Amino acid sequence: MIAPLVLSLLTSIGQLILLALLAPFLTDLDRGASAVLGGEKAPPPGWRWRQIRAGWRQGGPLPPVAWLGFCLTLPVLSGLPLARANTLFGFLSEPALCGVMLIAAAAPCWIHALTGMPTRALTRTLHDGLARRGRTLLLLVPLLTLSGTLIAVGLPGAGTLTGLLQQRQLQPAPALMGGLVFIAAALILSLDGLFLDDRWHEVLIARTTGRHRSVLRIHHDLLRCGWTLMIADLLWPGSIAVGDTSTRHDLLLWSLVAPVKLAVVTGFVALARLLRPLPPTRLALVLAGGAILLTLAGRIGV
C-alpha cells in the first residue's frame, strides 16, 4: 500500500520538475517556430530563460498576489499524466476540471491588467483584445466539458484522462481516440489567442517590472505547459505508461517521448496560427461536431 503511494508521489514530483524546466523552452520553441513560418528571424535559443533571469536581477517589489496563480497551476501539472499514469493527483486529470483551474489561474493576471495601463494605446489594445478573446472563452469551457463527456461515453467508467489510459487497455475504442484528436485540434484553435501566445501575455503584464514581471512570465510558461500537456494527452494517450514497465522504457518516456510530444504540440500551435483557413471559433465548432459524430458512431457500432 505504501510503495504505490510513494511511487505516485515521486512520479508527481519528477513530473513537476521536468515540466518546470521544459516550460520556458516551449515558449522559446513557439516563438522560434512562429518566426520561421512567418519568414522572420527567430530569437536565439534560450532567450526566455535569459529574459526571466534578467528581470529577476532587476529586483523590485514582488506582491504576494503574483504567486496566486501557482496554487492552481501546479496541482494541474502534477495531475495530468506526462510519462506515467500513476500520478498522485490523477483525479484532477478530468479535462473540464483542469481547464477551469487553468483559466482561474490566469485570472489574477487579467484582473491586474484591467486595473490600469501605462498608456492609452496599451489600454485600447487591452480592451480590444479582451473583447475578442472573451467570445473565444465562451466556447472554451463547453469544449472542455465535451472532452470529458466524450471520454465517459466512449469508455464508460473512464471520466478522466487517467481513467482513459487505464480503460483503453481493456477497450481500445479507436473511434473515441479519433474524436479526441478532433477535440485536441479544436482546443488548439480556441486556446491560441487566450493562453498559448506569449505576445498577448506581454500586453497583460506591461505595467509590471523586475521580479514581478519575471514571476508572471514563469507562471505563463507553466500555464501554457499545462494546456499543452492536456492536448498532448488527448492526441497520444499511448505515449503514457500504465502499470509496470522496465527501467529502460521509463527512461525513454521521461527523457525523449514526453519532451518530444510537448514540442510537437507546440509546433502544431505555431502552424495553426499561420494556416487557419476559417475563423478559429467556427473551425473549432466544426471539429467539435466531428468529434461527437465519430465517438457516437463508434459507441453504437456504426
Contact 108, 219 (CB under 8 A): no
Ramachandran angles phi, psi of 22, nearest 5°: -80, -30
At residue 1, the pLDDT reads 52
Grid coordinates representing 56 are 529577476
The parent domain of residue 98 ranges over 2-300
pLDDT in tens, 27-79: 999 988 888 888 888 888 889 999 999 999 998 888 888 888 898 899 999 98
Write down the pLDDT at residue 109: 83
Rg, the chain, Cα only = 19
CB atoms near residue 172 (< 10 Å):
11
**Grid cell digits, residue 36:** 520561421
The 10s digit of each residue's pLDDT in 184-228 is 999 998 888 778 888 888 878 878 888 999 999 999 999 999 999
More confident residue, 83 or 279: 83
Contacts of residue 210, defined as CB under 8 A and 6 or more positions apart, other chains included, come to 55, 56, 58, 59, 60, 61, 62
3-state secondary structure (DSSP) of residue 288: helix
Our count of domains for the chain comes to 1
pLDDT digits (tens, 9 = 90+) for 161-170: 888 888 887 7
CB count in 10 Å sphere of residue 191: 25
